[in-house]
Amino acid sequence: MRRQQLLASGRAPALHAVIDEAALRRPCGGPEVMRGQLAHLIAAAGRPEVVLQVVPLGTDLPGAEAGAFSVLGFAEPELPDVVYLEQFTSALYLDRPAEVAEYTAALQRLSEASLTPEDSLALLRSVLGDI
């Protein structure tokens, strides 16, 4: 909830999220919960500092099966980018430049294979309408 509040604050960071369409369609928590989650994503995608893209079903992306990850970049140039991997019972931060470069390249490939932000928003609305 604190992370969500940060996006609504005057100091909101830039956020570029790439989400697999399967995650949007997988039933979780029942229809009411899913409608709420999708509505929240639609609202977030409307914020100027947020870019949200969806990887459509059927997209073949080698390496995408590795799971969720975040590439954290910082405004201060002396702070290097870091990769954040959330695991079941812990989290892992990778800061070696070669590892960060691999994840950054993977994120770029995912983004290029994804729908545009406008088409992603249309898909989110369609999925919401299907529930």
pLDDT in tens, 90-107: 999 999 999 999 999 999
118: pLDDT confidence band, cut at 50, 70 and 90?
Answer: very high
- What are the C-alpha distances in Å from 12 to residues 3, 9, 49, 76? 10, 6, 7, 15
pLDDT of 66 above 70: no
Judging by beta carbons within 10 Å of its beta carbon (0-12, 13-18, 19+), is residue 54 exposed, middle or buried? Answer: buried
pLDDT of 65 above 80: no
Residues 68-97 pLDDT 10s:
899 999 989 899 999 999 988 999 999 999
Q: pLDDT > 90: what percent of the chain?
A: 71
Domain boundaries, the chain: 1-58+114-131, 60-113
Q: What is the pLDDT of residue 10?
A: 73
pLDDT of 63 above 70: no
pLDDT, greater one: 63 or 51: 51
Q: What is the pLDDT of residue 70?
A: 93
Pairing of strands 82-86, 70-72: antiparallel
